[in-house]
Amino acid sequence: MKSALMLATAVAALATAASASADGFYVSGNGGISELPNLTLKSDTSGNHKEHFDTGYTFGGSFGYDYGNGWRVQLDSQYAHQSLKRVDGTPANGQISSTSVMLNAQRDLISGSSVTPYVGAGLGMQNVGGEIGSYQGRAWKPAYQAEAGLRGDISQQVSLFGEYRFSQSESAAMSDGIDRAHQHFSDHGLMAGLTYHLGN
């Protein structure tokens, strides 16, 4: 319900925006909520353990170049954090977080509209880890992301956007000092943010 309300608010704001796009560099920042699917901790000795997490938060930023023809390329970084709720249906303590650094490309699906839908994808690295009960660990792992959103220009230099983003990385190793385990990681993010176009 909170996710739907957040997206509806972003869409309503975008609908009042005026369109103005030009080529050049830009910076952007965003914040929102992070939802983890049911992840798995794979222990070398006790097998697979199903994890459930509370809704978390996410924030990040980008530096990129808009080619003025619907294509953008950017370097972005995103942080997400979630608290552990249950393992195998039993209440448990812990948390997991991730920090990503991705080279990302975006493409506008239409032009000349006050609200512009876009899609994107990126590749990079993700630092994944935390504490799951007695297990701890963190590592940089290859990762990818895919996204879809709506963007509208508030002015010549400032744009507002709402975005859904999915990211996934390779499993990170964790240990409790005796047993070794691998933490699977993927994330669903719903964000809103602002972009500032430099030099327009």
Contacts within 8 Å (CB) and 24+ apart, 108-113 = 108/70, 108/71, 108/151, 111/21, 111/70, 112/19, 113/19
Helices (H), the chain: 2-15
What is the domain extent for residue 30? 2-197
Which pTM was predicted?
Answer: 0.84
Q: Is the pLDDT of residue 17 over 70?
A: no
Query: Is 37 a residue whose pLDDT tops 90?
Result: no
pLDDT at 7: 47
- In this predicted model, what pLDDT tens digit does every residue of 145-182 receive, in sequence order? 999 999 998 988 999 999 999 999 999 999 988 989 88
| pLDDT number for residue 26 | 96
Residue-wise pLDDT for 60-118, tens only, equals 999 999 998 999 999 999 999 999 999 998 999 999 999 999 999 999 999 877 899 99
With cut-offs at 50, 70 and 90, classify the pLDDT of residue 4: very low
How many independent structural domains does the chain possess? 1
Q: What confidence category does residue 18 fall into, taking pLDDT thresholds of 50, 70 and 90? A: very low
Measured CA to CA, the distance from residue 137 to residue 16 in angstroms comes to: 46
pLDDT category of residue 195 using cuts at 50, 70 and 90 = very high
| Residue 124 tokens, joined | 């990079």
**Which long-range contacts (C-beta less than 8 Å, at least 24 apart) are formed by 75-81?**
75/101, 75/102, 75/103, 75/104, 76/100, 76/101, 76/102, 76/104, 76/122, 77/101, 77/102, 78/30, 78/102, 78/165, 78/167, 78/189, 80/34, 80/56, 80/187, 80/189, 81/34, 81/56, 81/57
Whole-angstrom distance, CA of residue 40 vs CA of residue 21? 43
Q: What are phi and psi of 163, to 5 degrees?
A: -145, 140
Start-to-end CA span in the chain (Å) = 38
pLDDT at residue 2 is higher than 80? no
Q: Is the confidence at residue 5, as pLDDT, over 80? A: no
Query: Are 145 and 155 in contact, with CB atoms under 8 Å apart?
Result: no
Provide the CATH number for the domain around residue 80.
2.40.160.20
